[in-house]
Amino acid sequence: MSMKYDVTVLGPVMTNCYIVYDTETMEAMVIDPSWSCETIAANLQRLGVTLKRIVLTHGHADHIGALQDLRQQYQVPVYVGAGDKDLITNSRNNMSLFVGKEIVCDSPDYIAEDGDIIAVGKLQFKVITTPGHTPGGICLYGSRTLFSGDTLFRYSVGRTDLYGGAWETLLQSINDKLMVLPDSTLVLPGHGPATTIGEERTGNPYLDGDGGW
């Protein structure tokens, strides 16, 4: 049993869409289905995996562009943090009105609470609630890997000037929930390259309590 992941950069703001799967069962989840259902479906077929669930790290437009089409095509459940439940159904608050593609999705099937376990085949991922970038942002942690959404990037952090953002809340989420993970933890963010918790602990300029955007 081992985890593998496939990442495709999609949409106008270069969002990382992840397909995460168990190599033993070949069951998969999609994290943040951005923009192109056709591309994601082709990747699922290329990998030879069976999609079982869709997980949203948060409800912004660039992370949910393919959500409605993908869930209808594969008839799989959708998970989102409680604070973003209504974000995916509101095109103004999820910012889709401002990126040229109005996105209104049905309500999620499940609310992902802090400490919940989301299984993919025999793999297990713990839900870590990390509000700040949005009210209901979450990260997923398992197999020594953190899918951090737009909470934590390589040498940066999520912006907080959009609907529901809160700078102090974001810093608290990162310091209290993510910086306690092992330094060797691989961090796979919603945009940009991978990093590790150790790299961010020592090199991220936003984690000293100053700055922000």
Nearest to 152 by CA among 209, 190, 198, 208: 190
The rounded radius of gyration (Å) of the Cα atoms in the chain is 16
Sign for the CA dihedral angle at 125, 130, 135, 137 comes to negative
Beta-sheet pairing, 186-189 with 195-196: antiparallel
Neighbouring C-alpha atoms within 13 Å toward the C-beta of 112: 31
pLDDT given for residue 209 in this prediction: 46
**Per-residue pLDDT tens digits of the chain, which is 213 residues long:** 699 999 999 988 899 999 999 999 999 999 999 989 999 999 999 999 999 999 999 998 899 999 999 999 999 999 999 999 988 887 777 777 666 677 877 889 999 999 999 999 999 999 999 999 999 999 999 999 999 999 999 999 999 998 889 999 999 999 999 999 999 999 999 999 999 999 999 999 998 644 333
78: helix, strand or coil: strand
**Distance between CA atoms of residues 60 and 78, nearest Å:** 15
Sign for the CA dihedral angle at 189, 195, 197, 199 comes to negative
pLDDT given for residue 212 in this prediction: 38
**Distance between CA atoms of residues 17 and 38, nearest Å:** 13
pLDDT given for residue 97 in this prediction: 65
Q: Which CATH number fits domain 3-203: 3.20.20.140, 3.60.15.10, 3.40.50.300, 3.10.129.10?
A: 3.60.15.10
Secondary structure of 84-137 in HEC code, one letter for each residue? HCCCCCCCCCCCHHHCCCCCCCCCCCEEECCCCEEEECCEEEEEEECCCCCCCC
How many residues are listed for the chain in this entry? 213
